[in-house]
Copies of this chain bind each other. A is one copy, B any other.
Amino acid sequence: MEKARRKEREFNLRRADILDAAVKIFAAKGFHNATVAEIAASSGFAIGTLYQFFAGKEQLYSALLTEKLTAMYAAIRAAVGGASDIVGKIEQLVDSQFRFVEENAEFCGIFVRGDYLSLSEGSAELRAGIRRDYARHVAFIAEVLRTGIRAGVLREMDPTTMATALTGIVNSYASQWIALAETESLRRKTSSALAIFLEGVRR
């Protein structure tokens, strides 16, 4: 059936419209201060319509976080996979994350704003899922770094600790960029972040 196809495509488009509207509101006001009515109005649908796409406010929020983060992690892995040498991989790590932040500034604002997890106690599931995915991401980075250590390019050091430092630097640059609503490209900072991580700041 051709019809079913089109239906599904339209469904996904509308769903994406809602998510787009929701990101803006959630990023601007936080989970609790955003109202379903507001998101509905902003997405151009009636309140009831949202409930045909998402089972509730929390599920909408949850879908937002989960899907975007999944995409981000995937993009980063793809970028890293495209580089051949260690340093290139680390550079891609930083650069692809910066690219994602630039392209999803509003979404990332949720994290800088800080309320990405202020949900009812019920949804420990989402919290756990996000944390698990983050842990996996750090583990992935650690694995990349471990290769560098084995290759003798990086210092002998716990790779997870190294990965923690790297994500810290990257997140901090990104947070600054978002918080200050800087217009200059964040990606220009890639080399700076990379340099500090690789060479340190001591002369």
A interface residues (Cβ-Cβ under 8 A, vs B): 29-33, 111, 113-121, 131, 145, 152-158, 161-162, 164-165, 167-173, 176, 179, 189, 192-193, 195-203
Contacts and interface: CB of A to CB of B under 8 A. Distances in A.
B32 A118 contact: yes
Contacts of A114: 111, 114-118
A200 B199 contact: yes
Nearest to A174: B168
A200 B198 CA distance: 4
A155 B198 CA distance: 13
B115 A201 contact: no
A33 B179 CA distance: 26
Nearest to A192: B161
B168 A119 contact: no
A168 B189 CA distance: 14
